[in-house]
Amino acid sequence: MSPSDTVRAFIAAWEARSIDAILALMTPDARYLNVGLPEAVGHEAIRAMLTPFLAGATAVRWTVRHLAETADGAVLTERVDVFEMGPRTVTIPVMGVFEFSDGKIAAWRDYFDVPAFQRQLA
């Protein structure tokens, strides 16, 4: 599977709200950073960060506007992430970067407007 295919599978795992499928596509020591928030390192820390968020979502949709793979295999995504959270819909324009090791995601960084995201959750 190419890095771009892995990111597409990763997005599908998010849309299925499957934390196990998400983590299966990441290295055991993967680093996950929403820039502006604390970083999570390793499956257990990433699971602890994502589980409460996914548990509160009744639906997840990521619309990829652009996906590009660099010569060294990093994948860049411009996307809009939508989370149905009970009576509210949270919409987040995101720029994401995925780096790989041995065919799995070793680093994932998302760049977005954190305060705007937090206002939608309030």
Q: Which residues are catalytically annotated?
A: 81, 110
CB 34 within 8 A of CB 118: no
Amino acid letter for position 92: I
> What six digits make up the tokens of 40?
């999570």
Three-state DSSP at 100 gives strand
